[in-house]
Chains A and B, each alone.
Chain A
């Protein structure tokens, strides 16, 4: 069955966002957060991430040694809090550099597009 254009667009949008979820997540884990509070923190700043994507991601990042975690009991049931590990901090710094460079390049590219259009029309 052929893919509907809107499905394709949604997928591309999802892929674009997926690429930055790791960076967004690392940015919020300089202080310990548990899954739900992290999701809220991201959503409050306009970066809504599905729970089904975020929670497994935390585990995978921990498995890669980028996050450290521990169970804590504060005001409620036990919760697993995640924070950046030393390795995670290094990666976060490197990703910021890559991101800024990428944003600059893409901004230039997007900025050139209308001019190019004008030239050809």
Chain B
């Protein structure tokens, strides 16, 4: 019988040690002493209720009812500041997965095609990829966690400043006129540049103009479409600057222009030469491909934002 009491005491001791090792060092002894005494007293009463002496099985049941050591230890801690707030957990997980996935998707084919680490035999490329780019991509979750830690610290240090909600844009339809004027000036400069290049190529004959000479087929077939597109885009900007706000019609026209711009640029990239000289042709097409990607990203973002708007529910009329 005595051994049963001893083993139950040892079990309680082991449980208490398991709890307090998760607590701050300065609390451990005090909490441990108190917890051991309380558990022992609780076990004694439990044994009294059942009419038998405490044993290991009874002690195990008792501490299991008390809770898992990690959960009990967590209850001793004051409520802390979450590093990743619940509302941001989903976004954090997606950002982590997409960031790591993109890096792997880019680096894996490069290593296997021999573009990077070309000296390696094929059999050892996967291992080499894993210890270099594969594991290296994990800098991204680490970076995100670091950002979240800083954000949590800011929330804790300046709770009043971070908890006061401020509207980002009360009127989503109003446009930023100075920005649009700046954009219009940029668009006009772009048109002037292209027209200037075309004019100088046709007027002068020197290495510069030869390097930037437009392909005659491009000028005859695709360039007019570009001019029409520019005219339409500039007109839309002027209308927006005058009206000072978006309307449903102008938003639809803008969406249409973005789609047409992507289609036009895809046509230019794949529809033949733009410039006669290879360097100019390839670099401009590369830049266009990048712009198409950015515009598609913008379109996807617009679609996502549109989906995120609050729509009326399908209510049943009663």
- Could you list which residues of chain A lie within 8 angstroms of chain B, going by C-beta atoms? 34-36, 50-53, 55-57, 59-60, 63-64, 77-80
Contact = CB atoms under 8 A, between A and B. Distances in A.
Interface in B55-76: 65-67, 71-72, 75-76
A51 B30 CA distance: 17
A69 to B, nearest CB: 9
B37 A77 contact: yes
Contact of A57 (B67, B71, B75): B75
Contacts of B66: 50-52
Contacts of A51: 38-39, 42, 65-66
A35 B75 contact: no
A105 B72 CA distance: 34
Contacts of B31: 59
A53 B37 CA distance: 16
A56 B34 contact: no
B302 interface: no
**Complex A-B, nearest 8 residue pairs according to Cβ-Cβ distance, in ascending order:** A56-B75, A52-B67, A52-B66, A56-B76, A35-B38, A36-B41, A80-B34, A36-B38
A55 B37 contact: no
Contacts of A53: 75
Which of the listed residues A59, A63, A79 has the most CB atoms from chain B within 10 Å of its own CB?
Answer: A59
Interface residues of B, number: 21
Interface string B228-258: 0000000000000000000000000000000
A19 to B, nearest CB: 14
Contacts of A52: 65-67, 71-72, 75
B37 A79 contact: yes
A59 B34 CA distance: 11
A52 B66 CA distance: 5
B204 to A, nearest CB: 75
A103 B165 CA distance: 32
Contact of A60 (B30, B35, B71, B78): B78
Contacts of B72: 52, 56
Given A50-B66, A60-B77, 6 more contacts: A35-B38, A36-B42, A51-B39, A51-B42, A56-B72, A56-B75
B237 to A, nearest CB: 52
Interface in B67-109: 67, 71-72, 75-78
A55 B38 contact: yes
B139 interface: no
Nearest to B31: A59
Interface in B18-35: 27, 30-31, 33-35
Contacts of B38: 34-36, 51, 55
30 contacts: A34-B38, A36-B38, A36-B41, A36-B42, A50-B65, A50-B66, A50-B67, A51-B38, A51-B39, A51-B42, A51-B65, A51-B66, A52-B65, A52-B66, A52-B67, A52-B71, A53-B75, A55-B34, A55-B35, A55-B38, A56-B75, A56-B76, A59-B27, A59-B31, A60-B78, A63-B78, A78-B33, A78-B37, A79-B34, A80-B34
